[in-house]
């Protein structure tokens, strides 16, 4: 009988052939069929009355079977023949579409055209019949088990003993059938609207089949290959009944990259079909990339086009016609690594992947060390723990890769998160943030990643995927690329190069041990063959050094030593100026600079600039050298100084920075700099910087004094040392006395500077008295400073050494009484050593009673030692009432010991009510002891409302002195001018007293000044609030801002032209006083420019100039005395003048 030939009219663009399977009542009768053309365009869109067969052709080794088409013989596969036998009806013809018969398999052009219609063929078929094959392996039993499970709740086979192991194994055997591995079935299942599953003569509805499989919750533990193959198909088949019948639609729009990741492990007779079978399901347009079905295109070309379409045209791709493998080379960076992978229990087509990200992922708004859980589509190749998430240059999506010996295998080529969850840690199950919709989540800002510093050699092996899944491919980590692609790396140098690149990329992942082992193995394998001077060996050692440096701080020394060896060898082999040598030097610099983690981002930026300039052999910026000189040790500076030419300039700023160096052995930096370039002079600023360096200062100073005999220790340097905290001041002074004793002139100014701070003032003063006793200047001002700031031991030593020159005046005794930390100790020395000269005046008692820390002990001392001289005046009681920390305790002593002399006057009560820390507690005590004397007046209430706890003081008087209690306009104004809007709120809310808008505005202005809110102050001034007012203590807003150090606020207030720059508070102090006392240079300059008078004396005779001098603020003293010219602004509208103030 003649062979069938396809003689029907050529198929049009919308035409297919349909097969009429003729009936027969005899099961063994030959299969008779008819073919006819069918034009989709002639019929309305929707379901067509034919069935589409989804099956596996079967093995080409099986003997062919014959069917008859229009009476002519056509050979078909054994599996197709069996399917047609089971489909043949006894009485009616059956209209079906079967690819093997309905497409002329010998006509490549027709195949290409028909492939484009596959979506319609399966999407518009009345039903898709899934034929799994002949009955075998207890298939009938398995189908019944699945059918029963579909009617039940989900079960766990490990727990439910009603499902026996035999049934479970029978089900798993059916899932191992070739149909589940076939490529085309993904499209067929994704597009079908109704599915019937057949296995032999057993039949089951597709939805029932999928429901049963899901309810059984099969364990794939011993069948790992099945999970990636079966689960996505089950999901697609289950969705068939939900697809609309009026239009062709896939389950969801997926990119071609996602589809390839999901299904490339499946089998196809034609390799091309592994790509063409996915085209009807993708949202991408394959036409521009040349991916439309065309079987005349060589496989290697088609595979290359696919990879470049998914990744980028920039990547290098090599493929082969006879293999499903591609080798990809590209620049890239590592974004993170996988910590866990879990299948989605609710969705067979999804998996949850947790990723730890590195700092390279910062542009994605993922911070270094952050753990993110991605929901991805199920992948053909299993993602594993420690797989890497990378971005290749030019690509729009990350890839997931796995480290092999000398390359990486590609696991996923187009990572597309469907949603993401931030977790607390890589093991956390808590969700901090989640997006629930199923649309792909673009990885924002991927395009902003520019640092693609690593070279990746990737192998994408489609043919080996199933072997890997089945555990037949061996250990991937030890796999070499030449085992996959024989001869790809032809030389040892090339092998070493690829191994280096793999190890470096691993180093970026913090899998340092893996990378180190790779490099060490390569060094061991290749050093004897290539020789230690071989450039590949040098690169290997350089890589090993780099990995050592990345692993931890302890191995950085080992890393630096190894890199130095590489540099020395490169200098011999390649030359000092060779680009590779400079790159190695740059890497060594990076290792040295990597030791500073105080400011990671800043260090990263500067390291990048420095290493870049070393590589390019150009001059390094002064700012970067300054940073290096201040932060790193001698090794880094020696490296920079070894560079040729003028790439490193030793400037004044560099030397100043070196003087501040705190690195271990930081003094080596200064020594190297002085050896490199000897400056004409060592500036005073350099010496001061070293003198204030608490870590390396002493050693750096030794270097300076040894290397430069011309260094002179000036008065300003000594003053700087004297004012340093801790041991450094004493050590520096001792060093100066040893090395430059002749330079040290001990003036009154220096003595006052030494006495300014208790530490190290005490030790330095002892040192000077021991080493330079005769030169110590003893004036009243010096002794006053010692008495008011230092210890009793220093006072005792001074009296012993130079006692005949020390006169104990009232100012000295008063200073001792006001000593904040050691008043009792100093007073005891004075009373014991020079008691006859110590006069206990009212001023002394005021200082003692008001001493916040030692007032209580001082009063006891004076009452015990000099009882007759202690006179308790109103001023003394006021001082006690104003004590911010010990008011109650001091008052108790006064009342208990000298009660008859203690009179609680209105002035005393004003001070007590105005004491914001101790006032209310003191009032309660006075009420208990001297109830009749505790009165309530307007002035007392004004004092009470002038601090944040004024509401408590008001409540005290409201309930304890109801008859005299009254909130007057003056009281409200006092609260307002003190900035106590909280007290005004208390009056308004609790006392139901109205507060005018002016008082509210005033209070809010002062409150903004106190809270350092320049913006709020500016807003108040813009609204017209008058800033020229005073509180009950005659304190103005300018005075407050100046004392608090609010530079911006002072500038705003002066800018209004409404404030009085020389107004005085109740103590006679102008706004300039406290900035001068506290050393606020910028504010002092502003006030002087506005015409502030530094000669105004307060009630104690102190001026801004004297208080600045006393406190050692010599910069301010110079500013006031004309050594620092100030431009004085004429507030009356005339020209500004430069004056010495």
Residue among 293, 306, 300, 296 at smallest CA distance from 323: 300
What's the pLDDT band for 435 if we cut at 50, 70, 90? Answer: very low
- Asked, colleague to colleague, whether 495-593 and 1031-1130 share their fold, the answer is yes
- Give the ranges where 218-298 is alpha helix by DSSP (H): 224-238, 256-263, 273-276
Distance CA 912, CA 916 (A): 9
SS (H, E, C) 582-641: HHHHHHHHHHHHCCCCCCHHHHHHHHHHHHHHHHHCCCCCHHHHHHHHHHCCHHHHHHHH
The answer to whether residue 322 scores a pLDDT higher than 60 is: yes
Residue 181 CB neighbours (<10 A): 19
Q: Compute CA distances 752 → 684, 777, 1107, whole Å.
A: 21, 10, 12
> For 1014, left (φ over 0), alpha (ψ -120 to 50), or beta?
alpha
Query: In sequence order, which residues have a C-beta less than 8 Å from that of residue 826 and are 6 or more positions away?
Result: 787, 790, 791, 792, 795, 816, 819
For residue 929, pLDDT beyond 60: yes
pLDDT tens digit sequence for 347-404: 777 889 999 988 776 666 676 678 889 999 888 888 999 999 999 999 989 999 999 8
Mean pLDDT of the chain: 86
Q: What is the pLDDT of residues 5-14, one digit of tens each?
A: 988 777 888 8
The Cα 107–Cα 309 span in angstroms is 28
Q: Residue 431's CB: how many other CB atoms inside 10 A?
A: 12
> Hey, how many other C-beta atoms are within 10 angstroms of the C-beta on 863?
18
The 8-class DSSP code of residue 372 comes to: E
Structure tokens at 120: 């319609």
Q: What is the pLDDT of residues 95-144, one digit of tens each?
A: 999 999 999 988 888 888 888 888 889 988 999 999 999 999 888 999 99
Q: Could you tell me which CATH class the domain 1031-1130 is placed in?
A: mainly alpha
Q: What share of the chain is helix, strand, coil (3-state, %, to 5)?
A: 50, 10, 40
Q: Kindly provide the b/e burial profile for residues 607-629, where b requires at least 16 CB atoms within 10 angstroms of the residue's own CB.
A: beebbebbbeeeebebebbbbbb
User: Tokens standing for 564?
Assistant: 């130095």
Q: 1136: pLDDT confidence band, cut at 50, 70 and 90? A: very low
**Residue 557, number of CB atoms within 10 A of its CB:** 14
Query: How many CA within 13 A on the CB side of residue 668?
Result: 15
Residue 230: is its pLDDT beyond 70? yes
Coil, helix or strand for 402? strand
Residues in the chain: 1141
What was the pLDDT predicted at 328? 96
Q: What is the helix (H) or strand (E) element at residue 73, kind and residue range? A: strand 72-76
For the domain spanning 495-593, the CATH number is 1.25.40.10
pLDDT reported for residue 602:
83
Dmax of the chain from CA atoms?
A: 147
What is the pLDDT averaged over residues 448-458? Answer: 86
Cα 492 from Cα 481, distance rounded (Å): 13
* Residue 267 pLDDT exceeds 70: yes
Tokens at 712, concatenated:
């002179």
- Residues with Cβ within 8 Å of 438's Cβ and at least 6 positions away in sequence, in order, are 252, 418, 419
More confident residue, 428 or 122: 122
Residue extents of the structural domains in the chain: 1-152+176-244, 287-424+445-466+475-484, 495-593, 621-676, 688-702+715-776, 778-823, 1031-1130
Place of tokens 């004793």: 741
Is pTM beyond 0.85? Reply is: no
């Amino acid at each position: 009988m003649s062979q069938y030939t396809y003689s029907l009219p050529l198929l049009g663009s919308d035409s297919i052939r349909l097969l009429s399977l003729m009936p027969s009542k005899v099961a063994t009768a030959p299969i008779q069929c008819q073919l006819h053309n069918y034009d989709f365009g002639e019929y309305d869109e929707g379901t067509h009355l034919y069935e589409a067969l989804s099956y596996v052709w079967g093995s080409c080794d099986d003997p062919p079977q014959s069917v008859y088409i229009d009476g002519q013989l056509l050979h078909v596969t054994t599996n197709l023949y069996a399917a047609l036998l089971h489909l043949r009806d006894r009485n009616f013809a059956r209209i079906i579409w079967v690819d093997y018969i309905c497409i002329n398999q010998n006509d490549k052009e027709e195949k290409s055209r028909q492939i484009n219609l596959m979506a319609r063929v399966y999407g518009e078929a009345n039903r898709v019949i899934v034929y799994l094959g002949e009955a075998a392996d207890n298939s009938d039993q398995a189908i019944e088990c699945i059918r029963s499970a579909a009617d039940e709740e989900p079960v766990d086979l490990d727990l439910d003993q009603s499902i026996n192991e035999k049934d479970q194994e029978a089900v798993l055997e059916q899932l191992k059938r070739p149909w589940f591995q076939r490529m085309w079935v993904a499209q067929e299942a994704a597009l079908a609207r109704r599915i019937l599953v057949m296995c032999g003569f057993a039949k089951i509805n597709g939805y029932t089949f999928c429901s049963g499989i899901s309810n059984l919750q099969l364990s794939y533990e011993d069948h790992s290959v099945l999970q990636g193959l079966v689960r996505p198909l089950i999901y697609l088949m289950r969705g068939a009944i939900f697809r609309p019948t009026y239009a062709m639609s896939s389950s969801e729009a997926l990119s071609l990259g996602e589809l390839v990741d999901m299904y490339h492990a499946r089998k196809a007779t034609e390799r091309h079909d592994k790509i063409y079978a996915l085209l009807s399901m993708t949202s991408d347009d394959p036409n521009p990339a040349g991916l439309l079905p065309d079987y005349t295109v060589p496989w290697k070309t088609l595979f290359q086009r696919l990879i470049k379409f998914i990744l980028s045209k920039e990547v290098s791709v090599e493929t082969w016609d006879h293999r499903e493998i591609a080798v990809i080379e590209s620049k890239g960076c590592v974004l993170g690594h996988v910590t866990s992978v879990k299948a989605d229990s609710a969705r067979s087509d999804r998996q949850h992947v947790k990723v730890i990200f590195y700092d390279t992922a910062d542009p994605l708004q993922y911070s270094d060390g952050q753990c993110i859980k991605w929901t991805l589509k199920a992948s053909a190749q299993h993602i594993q723990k420690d797989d890497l998430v990378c971005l290749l240059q030019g690509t729009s999506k990350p890839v997931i890769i796995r480290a092999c010996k000398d390359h990486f295998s590609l696991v996923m080529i187009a990572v597309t998160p469907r949603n993401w969850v931030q977790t607390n840690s890589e093991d956390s199950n808590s969700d901090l943030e989640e997006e629930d919709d199923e649309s792909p989540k673009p990885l924002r800002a991927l395009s902003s990643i520019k640092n693609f510093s690593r070279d990746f050699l990737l192998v994408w092996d489609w043919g080996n995927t199933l072997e890997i899944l089945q555990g037949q491919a061996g250990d991937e980590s030890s796999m070499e690329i030449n085992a996959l692609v024989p001869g790809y790396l032809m030389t040892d140098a090339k092998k070493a190069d690829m191994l280096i690149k793999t190890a470096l990329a691993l180093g970026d992942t913090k899998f340092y041990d893996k990378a180190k082992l790779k490099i060490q193995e390569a060094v061991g394998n290749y050093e004897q063959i290539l020789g230690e001077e071989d450039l590949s060996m040098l690169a290997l050692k350089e890589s090993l050094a780099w990995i050592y440096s990345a692993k931890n701080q302890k191995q950085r020394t080992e890393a630096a030593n190894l890199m130095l060896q590489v540099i020395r060898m490169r200098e011999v082999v390649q030359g000092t100026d060779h680009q590779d040598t400079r790159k190695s030097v740059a890497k060594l610099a990076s290792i040295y600079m990597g030791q500073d983690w105080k400011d990671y981002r800043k260090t990263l930026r500067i390291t990048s600039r420095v290493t870049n300039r070393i590589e390019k052999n150009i001059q390094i910026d002064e700012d970067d050298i300054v940073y290096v000189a201040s932060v790193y040790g001698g090794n880094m500076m020696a490296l920079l100084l070894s560079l040729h030419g003028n790439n490193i300039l030793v400037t004044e700023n560099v030397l100043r920075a070196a003087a501040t160096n705190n690195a271990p052995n930081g003094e080596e930096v200064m020594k190297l700099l002085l050896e490199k370039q000897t400056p004409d002079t060592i500036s005073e600023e350099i010496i001061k910087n070293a003198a204030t360096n608490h870590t390396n200062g002493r050693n750096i100073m030794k270097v300076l004094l040894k290397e430069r005999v011309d260094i002179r220790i000036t008065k300003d340097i000594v003053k700087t040392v004297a004012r340093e905290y801790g041991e450094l001041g004493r050590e520096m002074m001792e060093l100066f006395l040893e090395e430059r004793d002749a330079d040290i002139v001990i003036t009154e100014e220096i003595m006052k500077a030494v006495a300014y701070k208790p530490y190290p003032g005490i030790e330095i003063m002892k040192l000077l008295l021991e080493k330079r006793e005769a030169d110590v200047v003893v004036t009243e001002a010096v002794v006053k400073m010692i008495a008011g700031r230092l210890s009793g031991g220093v006072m005792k030593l001074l009296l012993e050494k130079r006692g005949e020159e020390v006169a104990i005046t009232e100012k000295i005794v008063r200073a001792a009484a006001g000593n904040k930390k050691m008043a009792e100790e100093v007073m005891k020395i004075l009373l014991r050593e020079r008691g006859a000269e110590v006069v206990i005046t009212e001023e002394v008692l005021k200082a003692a009673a008001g001493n916040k820390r030692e007032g209580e002990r001082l009063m006891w001392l004076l009452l015990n030692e000099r009882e007759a001289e202690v006179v308790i005046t109103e001023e003394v009681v006021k001082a006690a009432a104003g004590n911010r920390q010990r008011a109650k305790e001091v008052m108790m002593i006064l009342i208990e010991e000298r009660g008859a002399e203690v009179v609680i006057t209105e002035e005393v009560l004003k001070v007590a009510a105005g004491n914001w820390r101790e006032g209310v507690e003191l009032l309660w005590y006075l009420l208990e002891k001297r109830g009749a004397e505790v009165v309530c007046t307007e002035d007392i209430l004004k004092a009470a409302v002038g601090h944040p706890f004024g509401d408590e003081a008001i409540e005290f008087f409201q309930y304890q002195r109801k008859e005299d209690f009254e909130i007057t306009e003056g009281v409200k104004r006092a609260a307002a001018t003190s900035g106590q809007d909280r007290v005004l709120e208390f009056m308004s809310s609790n006392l139901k007293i109205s507060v005018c808008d002016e008082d509210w505005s005033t209070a809010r202005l002062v409150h903004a000044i106190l809270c350092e809110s320049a913006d709020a102050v500016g807003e108040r001034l813009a609204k017209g609030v008058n800033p020229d007012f005073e509180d009950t203590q005659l304190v103005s807003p300018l005075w407050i801002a100046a004392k608090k150090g609010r530079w911006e606020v002072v500038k705003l207030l002066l800018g209004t032209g409404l404030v009085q720059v020389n107004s005085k508070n109740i103590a006679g102090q102008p706004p300039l006083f406290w900035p001068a006392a506290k050393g606020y240079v910028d504010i002092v300059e502003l006030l002087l420019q506005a015409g502030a008078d530094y000669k105004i004396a307060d009630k104690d005779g102190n001026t801004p100039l004297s208080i600045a001098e006393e406190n050692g603020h010599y910069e301010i003293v110079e500013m006031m005395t004309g050594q620092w010219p100030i431009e004085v602004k004429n507030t009356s509208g005339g020209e500004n003048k430069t004056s010495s103030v």
